Structure 1
Amino acid sequence: MTPDDTLQFRWAAFDELERLDLHDLLKLRQDVFIVEQASLYADIDGKDPEALHCLVRSGQTGAFLGAIRLFVDPERTSARIGRVVIAQEARGDGLGRSMMQAGILKAEELAPDCEIHVTAQAHLEKFYGSLGFRRASETYLQDGIPHIDMIRP
């Protein structure tokens, strides 16, 4: 990704995902979470149909660059952002921040004044902290990787 590359953000419910989007989403999560991070876990956890998905593609090449999934509770008092994934070639240019800001805005749109929860890899605490999230747990292992729970009030 180049600094002048335009990005296309698209929100979709699971049943609105096109076949190519679904393929690219699952492939990127597999490539990053399972292969790159050497963590064997069930990425297809049955929760994708309940989530809203933010898909990010390059506006110039159409390459799939990243995604997040968002859950908002039925009473609209809290939300959860998860499965934040960025293609290796798109890291380091602020895409993670842009994706998280998009997730925060969408959560607030759907559930004004809600708390937003994330389960963060522990080494990303400072990054999530810069977005207003605060640590809400001790460090624990999830799928062999140190994680913490964080909440944005």
Structure 2
Amino acid sequence: MTEKHLLIVAHAPSDNTRRLVEAVLEGARHPEVSGVNVSWKPPLEAQPDDVLQADAIILGTTENLGYMSGALKDFFDRCYYPVLEQKQGLPCALYIRAGLDGTGTRRAVQSIVTGLRWEWVQEPVVFKGDWQEDFVAQAQELGLTVAAGLEAGIF
């Protein structure tokens, strides 16, 4: 069995957003999931080669003025054309840490993902409003769901 690679490209500028990334990683690395290598790259460090090597991707961003983080937008700006032809159909998921409702952020990311022709594996997860400890469990579930689906060959 060939090991698959799950790439997480997530912006984590605060303690709480770092907790979300760590929770996604923890879920994706669940002991019952094997055969999936999981890595996290902050958007400003992620390169087209990282995406080209990925079998699935989880995107994470803060909501900044009703839009995705500048760091995630920079990732898309640098990686869009270098991966466009080779990664069509890439399974992807998204989470948003939103102070408001995440609508503009979601729409912006979905528009770019549609252009890339990546495939959503589930609805985006939006962590809205004031911090809630339940966000951590939801982030773990997201990581586990994507990694387990990748391992099982569901996508």
Same fold (TM over 0.5): no
The TM-score bracket by the shorter chain reads 0.3 to 0.5
Higher gyration radius (CA): 1
Structure having greater relative contact order (Cα 8 Å, sep ≥ 6)? 2
> Could you say which structure has the higher helix fraction?
2
TM-score normalized with structure 2 length: 0.36
Greater strand proportion? 1
